[in-house]
Structure 1
Amino acid sequence: MLSITDLRDFIELDHETVAAVHRATGLSDAGAVTLTRQFLASRHGILTLHHMFRDQIAEAVRRSDFEREHELRRAYGYFARKYPLPELG
């Protein structure tokens, strides 16, 4: 049986992106992995992930949780380089 870590490695998802989906949706780990994979399959889904990260960064700023803000900005920077904002035109 595959673990969640094995599943993430298999589909090349990074932990922070799956965690961002988990925090935004409240889904189980397996559900967050599945939804993240679905989001990454479309331009609209990638845009949704960008918004999830930005919303969570804004929430960390609002709460003055500067350590979490830094972690999220670093994770978002990695995500944004790997999956640039799509043109939806």
Structure 2
Amino acid sequence: MNTPTTYRLKTQKLAIILVAVILIGSLAGHIFWSLTRQACFQYVHHVLEKKYFNDTLILSHSSDTNVADLVWLSDNELQYKGRMFDVKQKL
């Protein structure tokens, strides 16, 4: 027969198990979120670094650059083969 004390112990045991499961789930979710956020940050950083590298244009006087493809739009902007570039440095 269930006495009030036995019922209370079962209820407390279930409450402790429920709290433990919630804490473990929260910790697992936090770890998953942290790893996902770090992976996304590294991916975006890599993509932006690659994009900035692809937007670098180096033209020299001795290169075989077709001058018709090069259009100066202003003192610090030029268009080369349909792509826009900012002039950072002139040598």
Could you say which TM-score interval applies, normalised by the shorter chain? Answer: under 0.3
- TM-score (normalizing by structure 1): 0.26
Q: As a proportion of its length, which structure holds more helix?
A: 1
- TM-score (normalizing by structure 2): 0.25
Q: As a proportion of its length, which structure holds more strand?
A: 2
Structure with bigger RCO (C-alpha 8 Å, 6+ apart): 1
Q: Which has the larger Rg?
A: 2
